[in-house]
Amino acid sequence: MSETLALAHRVARSVRDAGGRALIVGGWVRHSLLGTASQDNAPADNPAPDRASPSASQGGAPKDIDVEVFGLPADRLRA
């Protein structure tokens, strides 16, 4: 498990422990489910496959992971 994914899991557990719900969402989930490479490191206008970072399902480390938080007021969230 990459450091980024491990951090996302720790955040989700902390949110759960505080009474909220956290979901890992976004492109990382899509690419993992489809088994495709993420285009995070490629230019947005003309993504080159040779510059794409591998998805987590292919053993690559995700650049970032989006976590949506539900059931907790914003003032209960902290870095």
> How far, in Å, CA of 79 to CA of 75, rounded?
11
Angstrom distance (rounded) from CA 35 to CA 29: 10
Q: How far apart are CA 20 and CA 62, in angstroms?
A: 25
Residue 4 token pair: 């980024």
Residue-wise pLDDT for 28-70, tens only, equals: 889 889 988 766 544 444 444 444 445 444 555 667 889 999 9
* Residue 44 or 17, more confident: 17
Query: In the predicted model, what is the mean pLDDT of residues 23-31?
Result: 89
pLDDT at 46: 41
Q: How far is 24 from 26, CA to CA, in rounded Å?
A: 7
DSSP code, position 65: -
